[in-house]
Amino acid sequence: MKYLYLLLFLFVFPLHADDIGSQFQQQAQAGDPHAQYLLADTYYSSGNEQKAHYWAEKAAENGNADAIALLAQMSLKKDITAAKTLAEQASLAGSKIGDIILARVLVNNEAGTPDFPRAIQLLENAAKNIESDAAVDAQMLLGLIYANGGPLPEDDVKAAWYFKRSSTLSRTGYAEYWAGMMFLQGEKGFITPNKQKALQWLNLSCMEGFDTGCEEFDRLSNK
């Protein structure tokens, strides 16, 4: 997802804790909601959820719709009902990131009866603007929905098409790697762990040239 690049940057150019988000600090403290959101997003990407939540709340209070979506994302594993409420708010406020989080909630039976048609519609709309990070994530999730099957017919051809489009916008082979890891780990209410599917998508990631996909494929194959 969009956090891949930041994580790669941090790996190559490690930052001290005080450096993270420093380019947004002054404006955020002055009350700029966009800077507050960017600071929250940077903290979340670097693993500091406490500071991310603080600044996301500040930005949300100041009317930033993407900050509401970030709060929804942070709620996903803790309280999916709260995540759904926040994602609905973000989506209504015009956040494409909110649309993606809402779609992810709508396909999870932990949040109630799944609504796949609405989820797919939200993701297809978010995928239209290929200049945005939202398009990368929307196509990844569309691919995962079709790869998973369940209520919908499993369609690996359509899944591979969406993954490839997503990877083309981010990094070749990354979407396929993400799918493999999702099938390896599972997601309660949505993805049942499936080693064969994990191997299938990790292998494709490796064939696309994503080294981490090759490493995970080899590790899983040898278990």
The per-residue pLDDT for range 157-182, each reduced to its tens digit, is 999 999 999 999 989 999 999 999 99
Region 200-216: mean pLDDT is 96
pLDDT of 8 over the 60 cut: no
Burial status of residue 175 (CB atoms within 10 A of its CB: 0-12, 13-18, 19 or more): buried
Q: What is the pLDDT of residue 20?
A: 67
* Residue 190 banded pLDDT, cuts 50, 70, 90: very high
Mean pLDDT of the chain: 90
Q: Helix 133-148 vs helix 116-126: angle between axes, to the nearest 10 degrees?
A: 150
CA atoms in the 13 A half-sphere facing the CB of 210: 24
Q: What is the pLDDT of residue 13?
A: 38
Over pLDDT 70: what percentage of the chain?
A: 91
Q: Which candidate, 106, 171, 113, places its Cα nearest to that of 142?
A: 106
List Cβ neighbours of 149 (8 Å cut-off, separation of 6 or more): 155
Q: Which candidate, 181, 176, 177, places its Cα nearest to that of 193?
A: 181
pLDDT of 102 over the 90 cut: yes
The model carries a pTM of 0.86
Query: Which helix (H) or strand (E) element contains residue 44?
Result: helix 33-45
CB-CB contact of 57 with 65 (8 Å) = no
Q: What is the pLDDT of residue 152?
A: 86
CB-CB contact of 180 with 198 (8 Å) = yes
Residues of the chain with CATH 1.25.40.740: 136-222
CATH of 136-222, one of 3.30.360.10, 3.40.50.720, 1.25.40.740, 1.10.1330.10: 1.25.40.740
Buried b (16+ CB within 10 A) or exposed e, 10-34: eeeeeeeeeebbeebbeebeeebbe
d(CA 114, CA 110): 9
d(CA 42, CA 22): 10
Lowest mean pLDDT among 52-56, 60-64, 77-81: 77-81
Q: What is the pLDDT of residue 19?
A: 63
pLDDT of 11 over the 60 cut: no
Q: What is the pLDDT of residue 15?
A: 44
Region 6-20: mean pLDDT is 44
Residues of the chain with CATH 1.25.40.10: 26-128
Q: Which CATH architecture has domain 26-128?
A: Alpha Horseshoe (1.25)
Q: Which long-range contacts (CB under 8 A, 24 or more apart) does 90-95 make?
A: 90/65, 90/66, 91/122, 93/65, 93/68, 94/65, 95/65, 95/66, 95/68, 95/69
Region 78-95: mean pLDDT is 96
Straight-line distance from the first to the last Cα atom of the chain, in angstroms, rounded to the nearest whole number: 27
Q: What is the pLDDT of residue 18?
A: 53
CB-CB contact of 148 with 190 (8 Å) = yes
Tokens describing residue 39: 């600071």
Q: What is the pLDDT of residue 223?
A: 77
pLDDT of 5 over the 50 cut: no
Q: What is the pLDDT of residue 6?
A: 40
Amino acid letter for position 48: N
* Residue 24 banded pLDDT, cuts 50, 70, 90: confident
